[in-house]
Amino acid sequence: MAELHFFTGTMDSGKSTLALQTNHNHAQRGRVGQMFTTHDRAGEATLSSRLGLVAEALEVAPDFDFWRHVVDELTQGRRIDYLICDEAQFYTAAQVEQLAKIVDELQIDVFAFGILTDFRTRLFSGSARLVELADRTEVLQVEALCWCGKRATHNARTEDGVMVTDGEVIVVGDMNEPGGPPAEIAYEVLCRQHHRRGLTAARARAVSLAPEPLPFG
């Protein structure tokens, strides 16, 4: 039986790498799939990993209809055994429902990958609907780390090196390079304690805190 799988984790936990690996594994077994993404940092219609892996994918706009697309593909005689859906947190709730319908009605596996919460620590609508509908939800075992060395649980957005908690939910940016100059818009993974304090790696260095665990909890 086909299933809707949702793989989640913070930024820098290897979601896109796993998406590409999943596609590779299934293709190696003779299965035929299609890959989708949206707002990838590498550009439109691109699925990219921070390890340098890149593949072409179909761009998911807010009005994209997964059900209509797959039905049209099948009607034209194309084979589809599975879908790889990266950056699924940005999908609409309706699009997630279309993916569930594809699994149930067409018996096509769907593998979705995305982060749960935005930089304000609030659930993305796409991720929330995936948690509600997925047959399986799995948290990635590759743990991203906060600058202090603790497990990172929150995604922070920085503007010119300063953490912000207001603004548009969808703003494309990448991770700041450790020790490099702060980007105009960037993201950083933090433990809950340092996200609450707004204490990024750059700010910690500025106040002379060594990038290692603090002596208190």
pLDDT digits 0-9 by tens, 96-139: 999 999 999 999 999 999 999 998 899 999 999 999 999 999 99
Distances from the Cα of 183 to the Cα of 116, 162, 175, 179, angstroms: 24, 10, 9, 12
Instruction: Specify the pairing of strand 162-164 against strand 154-159.
Output: antiparallel
pLDDT for 49 equals 72
Q: Name the one residue in this structure whose structure tokens are 């743990």.
A: 143
pLDDT for 181 equals 53
pLDDT-above-70 percentage for the chain? 87
* Active-site residue, 87 included: yes
pLDDT tens-digit readout, 170-184:
776 555 555 555 557
Side-chain-side CA neighbours of 135 within 13 Å: the count stands at: 13
118 and 195 within one domain: no
Considering its fold, how many domains does the chain have in total? Answer: 2
Instruction: Answer yes or no: is 24 within a domain.
Output: yes
CA distance linking residue 147 with residue 152, whole number of Å: 9
Q: What is the CATH number of the domain that holds 49?
A: 3.40.50.300
Whole-number mean pLDDT of the chain?
87
Residue 208 has pLDDT above 70, yes or no: no
SS3 content of the chain, % helix, strand, coil (to 5): 30, 25, 45
100 and 35 within one domain: yes
Comparing 50-64, 124-138, 161-175, 188-202, the range with the smallest average pLDDT is 161-175
Instruction: Answer yes or no: is 149 within a domain.
Output: no
pLDDT for 27 equals 96
Residue 87 has pLDDT above 90, yes or no: yes
53 and 26 within one domain: yes
Residue type, 5: H
84 and 61 within one domain: yes
Give the range of the structural domain holding residue 183, as residue numbers without chain letter: 154-206
Instruction: Answer yes or no: is 215 within a domain.
Output: no
CA distance linking residue 206 with residue 201, whole number of Å: 9
82 and 54 within one domain: yes
Q: What is the mean pLDDT of residues 145-159?
A: 89
Instruction: Answer yes or no: is 67 within a domain.
Output: yes
107 and 24 within one domain: yes
Q: Last residue of some domain: 113, 139, 165?
A: 139
95 and 47 within one domain: yes
pLDDT for 47 equals 85
196 and 133 within one domain: no
Q: Is 173 helix (H, G, I), strand (E, B) or coil?
A: coil
Among 73, 87, 177, 184, the active-site one is: 87
pLDDT for 136 equals 96
Instruction: Answer yes or no: is 200 within a domain.
Output: yes
Instruction: Answer yes or no: is 217 within a domain.
Output: no
